[in-house]
Amino acid sequence: MRASFARSLRSRPRSGLPTRRTTLAVALTTAVGITGAAIAIGAFPHGGHRSPAPGPSAASSGETPSPGAAGIGDPLLPLDGNGGYTVRHYTLAFDWRAPRTPFDATATISATATQALSRFDLDFAGNTLHTVTVDDAPASAVRDGDELVVTPAKPVPHGRTFTVRVSYTADPTQQRHRGDAIQDYGWVPTSDGTLLYAQPDGAKMIFPANDHPSLRAPVTFRITTPPGLTAVANGRLVERVRRPDGRVRWTYDSEQPVAAQLVQLAIGKFVFVDSTGPRGLPVRDVVPDGLVTDTQEYRSLTAEHLDWLERRLGPYPFRRYGVLVGDTDLPVALETQSLSVLPRADLLGDRVDAERNLVHELTHHWTGDSVAIRRWSDLWLSEGHARFYERLYSDTHGGPGIEEAMRAAYEQHDQWRHDAGAPAEPTERTLFKQMRYDGSALVLYALREKVGEETFDRIERSWVSKYRGRAAGTRDFVALASEVAGEDLKPFLTPWLHGAHTPAMPGHPDWQVDPVQD
C-alpha cells in the first residue's frame, strides 16, 4: 500500500483513532431457507466465547476436542486469524445486484483441523448471516464482535479436512476508518460497482476468513453481474457464462495462495487492456471505460517497471500482473495480489509521482505478497522495501535523488520514532504511519551503506528467493543478511529497527537528526 505523504516528508502525522471490538447484542434463531433445517445464530456477551463449551465426546483420534483459539496471537491485532485449523481453499460466490445494494453471498471454506475441534472461529464482521453448515450438517453460529464462533454438530478430529459453508447477505457499503495512511478501508463503492481495499484486516467485512497476513489460501471467485458490467478478481479468468436471464457469471482462480488482505474483487464498466511483460508474462490492466485513453501513457510503463525490478529482485513471483484503475477518490493504492489498485488520480497527474506509485505496488509483489510478513510488527519489511525501490527508481527517472530523500528522512527519524515507534516497534494505532514507509526505507539504505551495494543486492535477491511463497519476519531478515554479508549484522540492525534514537548513518557523518518536538 502506498500512502500519499507530502513530497517534502515534512507533513505532520495524523493522530490514530482509538479502536474497540464491537459486540453485536443480537440473539435469534433462524430457519435455513434452502434445506429447511435450523441453526442458532446469536451473540456471546463481550469476550464470552473464551470459556470452553461443555465438551462433546472425544474425537476418534483420542484427542479431547477443544475450542480453536479466537486469534493467532499477533501482539498488535491478537484476534486476526484463528487457531485450530488451516484453510486450504476459499470459494466465494457473489450475486451482485447494484452499487450500495445488499446481495446474496456464499463462502465455502475447505480447511484441515490442526487440533480436535469442538468449535472454531471465523473472522467475519457485519453482513446478515443466514446459514452455516459444517460438512453439510447444520452448525451453531454465534457472533462475538468480529468473530463468528461455529460449533459443528460433531467435533472435528485432529487432521481431518472439513468444509464450512456460510450463506449471508453481503453489505457492499461496509467500511472502517483508521487514523494512519490506510484511512477508509473495506468495500469501496464506485459509480457503477465496487472494488476492495481490505488491508489491514478488512477482509472480514467482505467474507468469513482466516484473516492474518501470514495466512494464505487459494481462492475461487464466482461473481454474477447484471448485463453490461464486468467482474474482475485476483488471478486468471476461467469462465464467463451468460445465463438465460441475461446475467453473467464470471469465474476467477487466484492460481496461487493469497492472504485475505490482498484479495481483490471489482465490478464495473471495465475494459481489459492486454499486453506482455518480460519473458511473455501476461499483463492485463482493468480500466473504467472512460479512463482507458487518459491512463494509457503511464500504464504502458509496466513492462519497463517489471524489467527494472527483475534485474534487482529476480523473476516476478506470480503468473500474471495488471493494474486496476480505481474510479475513486481514495488517496491510497494497494498491492492486491496480481492486480494492483491505483486510484485514477495517481495515473492522471505527474509522471514521476505516477511511476513512484506504480513501482511501489509492483515491488510489493516480491516483498509483502510473495514474501509475506510473519507478524504485523514486521510491516516495515513490506512497506520499507516498496518505498526503498520506489525511491531508487525515481532517483534515475526524473525524481528526487535517493540520497536527498533519505537524508530528509534521517532528519525526521527521531521524531517519527517518538510519534510512531521504531521501524519494527509499531503499535496498532501507528502501524501505517510514515515510519513504516520512508522511515523503514531508511533502514535498508543504512544497510546498503554499511555492506556496500553489491552485497546489499545479494541480500535482497536471497531474501525474496529463500522466502518466496512463505512468511518471514524481522529476525529472519537479520539472520539472512548476516549470512550473505559474512558478518553478524544484528548489533548494527538492532538499534535501527528497535532503538529509541536514530543511529549514525554509515558514510554520512554530517547527517544530523532534528530535535524531537512533543
Q: Which residues are annotated as a binding site for Zn(2+)?
A: 360, 364, 383
Q: What cell was used for 28?
A: 435469534
Catalytic residue, candidates 361, 410, 460, 467: 361
Q: What cell was used for 12?
A: 505532520
**Residue 397: CA atoms inside 13 Å, Cβ hemisphere, count?**
19
How distant, in Å, are the alpha carbons of 181, 295, 456 from that of 504?
A: 28, 43, 19
What distance, in Å, lies between the first and last C-alpha atoms of the chain? 28
Q: What cell was used for 360?
A: 511501489
How distant, in Å, are the alpha carbons of 82, 204, 362 from that of 120?
A: 8, 15, 36
The residues pairing with 90 across neighbouring beta strands, listed in sequence order, are 109, 219
Helix axes 402-420, 438-451, angle to 10 degrees: 120
Alpha helices for 314-437 (secondary structure H): 351-364, 379-395, 402-420
Q: At residue 498, what are phi and psi to the nearest 5 degrees? A: -125, -10
Q: At residue 63, what are phi and psi to the nearest 5 degrees? A: -80, 130
**Residue written as cell 447494484?**
98
Catalytic residue, candidates 185, 298, 437, 467: 437
Cα 495–chain centre separation: 28
Q: Which of 439, 443, 433, 371 is nearest to 411 (CA)?
A: 439
Contact 434, 420 (CB under 8 A): yes
Cα 416–chain centre separation: 24
**Residue 474: CA atoms inside 13 Å, Cβ hemisphere, count?**
22
Cα 7–chain centre separation: 25
Mark whether 390 is an active-site residue.
no
Contact 406, 391 (CB under 8 A): yes
Q: What cell was used for 111?
A: 480447511
Burial of 60 from C-beta contacts in 10 A (0-12 / 13-18 / 19+) = exposed
| Distance (Å, whole) CA 276 – CA 183 | 34
Cite the annotated binding site by residue number. 360, 364, 383
How distant, in Å, are the alpha carbons of 173, 239, 407 from that of 188?
A: 7, 25, 36
Q: What cell was used for 457?
A: 543486492
Mark whether 437 is an active-site residue.
yes
Q: Would you name the residues annotated as active-site residues?
A: 361, 437
